[in-house]
């Protein structure tokens, strides 16, 4: 099904693709794809992405709605725990949690559809059983709901900030304090809409941290997030001046280690079981590639 939206330019002076990426909250590459396919018209005419828009311009954008469905796929997953209500998964680095823009398979949702007979339907056909998410290149624990009652119970706990999620990350450099709190507002970066940033117009983001081990040029840190903003730990680590090692988006351009993503691991989660109401805690072991980097740093420290 096609969906046409018309945008009226009030303030000119911007490239057409820049203007649309901001009002649509989409990447410029996506806007270019739409424009190349003839889906964008400025005052009824096809224009180049670089055209500078003027006040009063009418821009029509026609998008084709795709009804993504997570089809079952036989993908191995690490199931830490399961019962009739929930499952707890140790997600590997490099796996997306569910289908989305440009991702239509190979996700955790696809694997869950194959692995379990029943999953909650609250998240629809795209996010069956998915209550919360992790970034593609962040490994670790994800709680999955097998029925709608469990899904709603976990979602309510998340909304009340009653779920404790502890992450482990290796940071560049050494934090000055052994522990502390970061309280900011996080929203879309005005410079790059694909990134998040600390901005006054964002939503409150609260992170507590504790250094567990120090090295010459790095520190191992536990993060306890009280809010669940997109890329929260990675953005706050950058805000502190010590980005996560291996972070291709928020980290250093030159990396010391050959990594496929950031050294950020969702290590532990605690919540009340949807049926029993009792507090339960689950832990996911640190991935081997993460441990290898730590072993290397420990040996260097001893030399």
CA 42 from chain center: how many Å?
A: 34
In a shared domain, residues 139 and 209: no
In a domain, 178, yes or no: yes
**Chain centre distance of CA 137:** 9
pTM (two decimals): 0.79
For residues 7 and 118, state if they share a domain: no
| Tally of structural domains, the chain | 3
- Is the per-residue pLDDT at 163 higher than 80? yes
> What's 57's domain CATH number?
3.10.290.10
Structural domain including 224 reads 161-283
Residues 242 and 173 grouped into a single domain: yes
**Across 46-50, 142-146, 163-167, least confident range:** 46-50
223 is a domain residue: yes
- Give the end of a domain, one of 117, 142, 160: 160
Is 296 within the bounds of a domain? no
Question: 171 and 276: one domain?
Answer: yes
> Which residues participate in catalysis according to the annotation?
135
Apex 44 CA angle, 41 and 48, nearest 5:
40
Q: Which residues touch 297 (CB under 8 Å, ≥6 apart)?
A: 215, 216, 218
Is the domain of 43 the same as that of 148? no
Q: Let me know whether 51 and 83 are in one domain.
A: no
- Considering the domain architecture, whether residues 233 and 119 belong to the same structural domain is answered as no
pLDDT tens for 235-272 read 999 999 999 999 999 999 999 999 999 999 999 999 99
Q: What are the structure tokens assigned to 287, written together?
A: 């991935």
For 101-155, what is each residue's pLDDT tens digit?
667 789 999 999 999 989 998 877 778 899 999 999 999 999 999 999 999 999 9
């Amino acid at each position: 099904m096609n969906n046409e939206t018309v945008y009226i330019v009030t303030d000119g002076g911007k490239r057409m693709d820049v203007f649309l990426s901001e009002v649509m909250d989409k990447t410029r590459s996506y806007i270019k794809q739409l424009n190349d396919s003839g889906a964008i018209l400025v005052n009824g005419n096809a224009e180049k992405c670089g055209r500078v828009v003027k006040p009063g311009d009418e821009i029509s954008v026609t998008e084709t709605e795709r009804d993504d469905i997570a089809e079952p796929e036989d993908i191995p997953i690490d199931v830490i725990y399961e019962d009739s209500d929930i499952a707890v998964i140790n997600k590997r680095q490099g796996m997306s949690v569910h289908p989305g823009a440009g991702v239509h398979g190979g996700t955790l949702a696809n694997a869950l559809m194959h692995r379990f007979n029943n999953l909650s339907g609250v998240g629809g056909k795209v996010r069956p059983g998915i209550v919360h998410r992790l970034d593609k290149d962040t490994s670790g624990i994800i709680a999955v709901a097998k029925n709608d009652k469990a899904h709603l119970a976990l979602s309510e706990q998340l909304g009340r900030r009653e779920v404790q999620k502890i992450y482990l990350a290796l940071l560049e450099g050494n934090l000055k304090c052994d522990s502390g709190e970061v309280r900011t507002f996080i929203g879309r970066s005005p410079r790059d809409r694909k990134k998040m940033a600390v901005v006054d117009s964002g939503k409150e983001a609260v992170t507590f941290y504790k250094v567990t081990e120090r090295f010459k040029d790095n520190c191992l840190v536990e993060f306890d997030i009280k809010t669940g903003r997109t890329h929260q730990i990675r953005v706050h680590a950058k805000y502190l001046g010590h980005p996560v090692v291996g972070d291709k988006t928020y980290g250093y351009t030159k990396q010391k280690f050959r990594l496929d993503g950031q050294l950020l691991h969702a290590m532990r989660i605690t919540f009340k079981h949807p049926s029993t109401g009792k507090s339960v805690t689950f832990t996911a072991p640190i991935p081997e590639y993460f441990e290898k980097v730590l072993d290397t740093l420990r040996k260097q420290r001893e030399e």
